[in-house]
Amino acid sequence: MKILHSKRASIALAFLIVAAGFLFGFWPLALVGVVLAVALGHWVSAMLFGLLLDVAYGVPVGFFHVVYFPITLFAVVSVVVRSALMGRIRTTQTDTL
């Protein structure tokens, strides 16, 4: 399967944002990279980014201590929301002049 250059570039951009968020210790930036991957339609990459971040950060403490993979769960929820929105957008389009 041949990956187009634009698809490869968008995956690389999402990965760079996730990596920058991880390396600088700013986890909201890493979440932006995961959301960007989902928004661009790279669901598998978003899941992998989330799983890698969860393994790197470890189990959270505090309120989310029972959720072992919170960033991966965030990626799954983002994929479900994107799928629902795309389905809604496709079904509600009408032709107007």
Better-scored residue on pLDDT, 78 or 66: 78
CA dihedral 85, 45, 8, 25 (to 10 degrees): 100
Cα–Cα distance for residue pair 91/93, rounded to 1 Å: 6
Location of structure tokens 């990279």: 33
Kindly tell me if the per-residue pLDDT of 93 is higher than 80: no
Q: What is the pLDDT of residues 21-53, one digit of tens each?
A: 999 988 899 999 999 999 999 999 999 999 999
Would you say 40 and 49 are in contact if contact means Cβ atoms under 8 Å apart? no
What's the pTM? 0.80
Name the residue among 30, 33, 41 with its Cα closest to residue 3: 41
pLDDT > 90 in the chain, percent: 51
Predicted local confidence at residue 92, as pLDDT: 62
Query: Which residue ranges make up each domain of the chain?
Result: 5-91
